[in-house]
Structure 1
């Protein structure tokens, strides 16, 4: 099967070294295509750049599209010798943007990536010109999926042992089948997910040691956040919620009408809290909007950028 990076980007997969939130150098995988003002695509938890496969080409006709795998995900480095702290992705996104763009960027972010994008707009407004967030867990009160709950309850040492034994590689057909079943559940039309899609979605889990461990680590951070939120203890989720009105860049909130993970009412609530935002509910769309509603998504993004005089 052809290398997705080579097929998608003129220079294929490129590598960028940044200093992570711990102060260590880390390799970030990315690709870029197109010219003009920069758009940065930010994926969600457990995903990687491939999730934007249907959005990249339409946007690259008008913009310089930059797609990267967050630390621990996809083809980026997965340091296992140190544990992550909540908020590390916000710090690392700042350093990625500073390394790849000399002007403010538009961020298009899905699911957990949207939460990181909102926090980044609060902490580093000078880096972000426009914001598009899709199906964001900004008001989440629990993990939305049984697989996440399972990872949350499994000690990281156990997950890391499974990872080091490369059980996902040994059980590759089973892993692909399970993930395919679960991914189709967050699509309005499950048939749009092809076998090639399943191959690439699962590729990092099957081929790269550390992927499962880093995802489990992020899930456990999310659990602690939700627990602290409910207990009125310090947490990043509350901090982001309480400062939503400080985000003054033009923002488009996109939400799947049939999103069973985070209901469309959350999108309406987020829109009400963001002073310079507009809301679009996507019909016939579940949680995985970038796969299941890609045409509507790319059209909405381009219209938003045209309306805000960014093109």
Structure 2
């Protein structure tokens, strides 16, 4: 099967070295297509750049579209010898923007990526020209899926052993089937997920050691955040919520009307807290908006950026 990066980006997969939040050099995989103002596509938890497969070409007609895999995800380097601290994604996103963009980009972000981008927009407003967030877990009170709960409760040493033994590779057909079933549950029309989609979505988990460990670690960080939120202890979720009013850039909030993970009422609440925001419900859309409602997503992004004079 032809390499996805080579097929979608003129220069294929490129690599960028940044200093991560722990102060170590780390290699970030990315691709870019188009010319003009920069537009960064930021994926969610457990995903990688492939999740934006339906958005790259349409948006690249107007922008220099940049897709990157966050540290530990997809084809980016996994720092397995070091435990992550909450908030590392925000620091690393800031450094990636500074390395790849010579002007404030548009950030289009989904799920956990949307939460990270909101945190950065409040912390460093000068770095973002426009912001588009989709189905953000900004008001989450629990992990939205049973499998996430299992990974979050499993000691990392056990996950590392599974990874070391390459069990995902050994049982690749089962892994693909299970992940296909779960991915189709977050799509209004499950039939749009092709066998090729399943192959690439599961590729990092099956072929690239460290991916499962990274996802489990992020989920354990998320659980701790939610526990601190409920116990009214210091936590990043509360900090981001309290800083929403400081976000200055024009923001578009897109939300699936049938998102069972984070309901559309969360999107409306986010809109009320952001002074320069617009809120759009995506009809017949579950949590995976970049796949399940990509045509509407692309249309709304372009319209928003034209309306706000960013095209």
Matches within 5 A, 1:195-206: 195-206=195-206
CA distance in 2, matches of 1:121, 1:106: 11
Partner of 1:187: 187
Does residue 32 (structure 1) correspond to residue 32 (structure 2)? The answer is: yes
Partner of 2:90: 90
CA distance in 2, matches of 1:94, 1:248: 17
CA distance in 1, matches of 2:67, 2:120: 17
Aligned Cα root-mean-square deviation (Å) = 0.3
Show CA shifts across 1:247-290 (max 9, x none). Answer: 01000000000000000000000000000000000000000000
Does residue 23 (structure 1) correspond to residue 28 (structure 2)? The answer is: no
CA distance in 1, matches of 2:7, 2:46: 23
Question: Structure 2: which 5+ runs fail to align?
Answer: none
Show CA shifts across 1:199-231 (max 9, x none). Answer: 000000000110000000000000000000000
Partner of 1:269: 269
1:190 Cα offset (Å): 0.3
Partner of 2:175: 175
CA distance in 2, matches of 1:274, 1:122: 11
Show CA shifts across 1:59-83 (max 9, x none). Answer: 0001000000000000000010000
1:114 Cα offset (Å): 0.2
Partner of 2:146: 146
SS in 1 for 2:148: helix
1:106 Cα offset (Å): 0.5
TM-score, with structure 1 as normaliser: 1.00
Partner of 2:78: 78
SS in 1 for 2:129: strand
Partner of 1:309: 309
CA distance in 2, matches of 1:229, 1:169: 37
CA distance in 2, matches of 1:30, 1:202: 18
SS in 2 for 1:39: strand
Does residue 68 (structure 1) correspond to residue 93 (structure 2)? The answer is: no
Q: How many residues align?
A: 311
1:125 Cα offset (Å): 0.8
SS in 2 for 1:107: strand
Partner of 1:10: 10
CA distance in 2, matches of 1:13, 1:164: 26
CA distance in 1, matches of 2:11, 2:58: 18
SS in 1 for 2:115: helix
Partner of 1:225: 225
Partner of 2:238: 238
CA distance in 1, matches of 2:103, 2:299: 24
Does residue 213 (structure 1) correspond to residue 203 (structure 2)? The answer is: no
1:123 Cα offset (Å): 1.1
CA distance in 1, matches of 2:256, 2:172: 31
CA distance in 1, matches of 2:197, 2:252: 27
Does residue 100 (structure 1) correspond to residue 71 (structure 2)? The answer is: no
Question: Structure 1: which 5+ runs fail to align?
Answer: none
Partner of 2:45: 45
Does residue 284 (structure 1) correspond to residue 284 (structure 2)? The answer is: yes
